[in-house]
Amino acid sequence: MTTSDQRRQHALDALAQQSIELPSWAFGNAGTRFKVFPTKGVPRDPFEKVSDAAQVHRHTGAAPRVSLHIPWDLVDDFGALAAHAADEGVQLGTINSNVFQDDDYKLGSLTNADPAIRRKAVQHHLQCLDVMRATGSKDLKIWLPDGTNYPGQDDLRGRQDRLAESLAEVYAGLDADMRIVLEYKFYEPYFYAMDIPDWGTSLLHCLALGEQAMVVLDTGHHAPGTNIEFIVAQLLRAGRLGAFDFNSRFYGDDDLIVGAADPFQLFRIMHEIVGGDALRPDSGVNFMLDQCHNIEEKIPGQIRSVMNVQEATAKALLVDREALGQAQRAGDVLAANGLLMDAYSTDVRPLLAELRESRGLPADPYRAFAASGYAERVAAERVGGTQAGWGA
């Protein structure tokens, strides 16, 4: 029997170890294809993006890594960027390739029928591996925009064969301690057939590649109504859940603040993570945000996102798993469901405030950042230059 005090202590211990990686692009201007609204003080280069990300870590103590997007975050000296990150108290994390903004890739990148274009796309990924050697990053995240718009436009099976070949070339370039994490998305920018539309396709490619290839689950990349926690459980069973891109959605790939649209779904996902023992820092699952802040302030938006993930995790850690297992084995449907809902209904904000204060952090990171004066300072300092935006 675990007591509620024991579960509380266990939750505090586990939460103290939790870390969430931030996307550099969350700190630049973003919008829709209709309008990008500029914000005062937005970074002009990757160094300033890293400084802003470090603010999130400074106030939450839970966001020690920053993920880069290549070529948006290209710099002459990645060693200098890594040193700057260290000075700011954070590290550079996952490197994201980008084959979605070059004219050559209109009909595909790693899947393109033209061998010269496939070669160019493979080369881009090999360059990303060089960036990783300079930054100390261990994960190469691949999301491909590849797909077709019309039945008959290209041979579906041939595209899979070319994809497998190209991925194998990239995989062969990995160092022993590096991984490919392969993301899927069911639609957009193409609407008939994406080449990696779902977790099954990603998993099949990962299994063919080898143990250093893992699936990335972006919470915004499924059809409405998809049971995402089931996918989490399946990938954990297979030992192939490499990373999350957290965000939330009402309709499409909305990239809104994680936990904003459906905090209960986030809790259910974290319940599977805790149940699969995948919260441990060495579990091999990298928890990352992939979001844009179109109308809200960006650093506070990231702070709120980290807090939302912490809250969902805390609730998942408070589930009385022993009692739940007993109710499940006894076939007591309502008791089992009630145990899950009890945990979900707990107000965990005091627990998280206690955790933060015990670690010398502000009880309310969101308010502490607002009071710090950082936003006003960078708005005054960052004049001139070109503000970073989604795509730069």
* Cβ distance to ligand PSV smaller for residue 102 or 253: 253
- Applying CB under 5 A, the residues found at the interface with Mn ion are 218, 245, 290
Q: How far apart are CA 360 and CA 61, in angstroms?
A: 9
* Cβ distance to Mn ion smaller for residue 247 or 308: 247
* Cβ distance to Mn ion smaller for residue 146 or 218: 218
Q: Name the residue among 164, 233, 151 with its Cα closest to residue 201.
A: 164
C-alpha distances (whole Å) from 252 to each of 18, 99, 188, 224 are 29, 21, 9, 8
Least distance (Å) between residue 228 CB and ligand PSV: 15
Q: Which does 102 bind (CB under 5 to 8 A by kind): ligand PSV, Mn ion, none?
A: none
* Cβ distance to Mn ion smaller for residue 88 or 218: 218
Instruction: Write out the two tokens for 332.
Output: 């007591």
125 neighbors 142 (Cβ within 8 angstroms): yes
* Cβ distance to ligand PSV smaller for residue 186 or 366: 186
Q: How far apart are CA 392 and CA 325, in angstroms?
A: 49
* Cβ distance to ligand PSV smaller for residue 224 or 384: 224
Amino acid (one-letter) located at 164? A
Other C-beta atoms closer than 10 Å to the C-beta of 141 total 27
228 neighbors 237 (Cβ within 8 angstroms): no
* Cβ distance to ligand PSV smaller for residue 25 or 369: 25
Least distance (Å) between residue 185 CB and ligand PSV: 6
* Cβ distance to ligand PSV smaller for residue 78 or 143: 143
Q: Which does 246 bind (CB under 5 to 8 A by kind): Mn ion, ligand PSV, none?
A: none
Residue 7 burial by Cβ neighbours in a 10 Å radius (0-12, 13-18, 19+): middle
Least distance (Å) between residue 121 CB and ligand PSV: 15
Least distance (Å) between residue 20 CB and ligand PSV: 16
* Cβ distance to ligand PSV smaller for residue 154 or 183: 183
Least distance (Å) between residue 245 CB and ligand PSV: 5
Q: Which does 139 bind (CB under 5 to 8 A by kind): ligand PSV, Mn ion, none?
A: none
Distance of CA 234 to the CA centre of its chain: 19
CB neighbours of 367 closer than 8 A, spacing ≥ 6? none
CB neighbours of 100 closer than 8 A, spacing ≥ 6? 109, 145, 189
Q: Which does 253 bind (CB under 5 to 8 A by kind): ligand PSV, Mn ion, none?
A: ligand PSV
Least distance (Å) between residue 218 CB and ligand PSV: 5
Q: Which does 198 bind (CB under 5 to 8 A by kind): ligand PSV, Mn ion, none?
A: none
Least distance (Å) between residue 326 CB and ligand PSV: 40
Alpha helices in the chain (DSSP H): 4-17, 46-60, 78-87, 115-135, 156-172, 199-209, 228-237, 263-275, 298-318, 321-329, 333-344, 349-358, 365-372, 374-381
Q: Which does 311 bind (CB under 5 to 8 A by kind): ligand PSV, Mn ion, none?
A: none
Q: Which does 25 bind (CB under 5 to 8 A by kind): ligand PSV, Mn ion, none?
A: ligand PSV
Least distance (Å) between residue 153 CB and ligand PSV: 21
Phi/psi at 92 (nearest 5 deg)?
-85, 140
Least distance (Å) between residue 96 CB and Mn ion: 8
* Cβ distance to Mn ion smaller for residue 57 or 221: 221
Q: Which does 272 bind (CB under 5 to 8 A by kind): ligand PSV, Mn ion, none?
A: none
Q: How far apart are CA 379 and CA 377, in angstroms?
A: 5
Least distance (Å) between residue 24 CB and ligand PSV: 10
Instruction: Write out the two tokens for 13.
Output: 């211990």
Instruction: Write out the two tokens for 77.
Output: 């000296």
- Applying CB under 6 A, the residues found at the interface with ligand PSV are 25, 96, 143, 183, 185, 218, 245, 253, 290
Q: Which does 48 bind (CB under 5 to 8 A by kind): ligand PSV, Mn ion, none?
A: none
CB neighbours of 105 closer than 8 A, spacing ≥ 6? 99, 112, 117, 121, 145, 146
In the bound complex, which residue of the shown chain has the CB atom lying closest to ligand PSV? 143
Residue 191 burial by Cβ neighbours in a 10 Å radius (0-12, 13-18, 19+): exposed
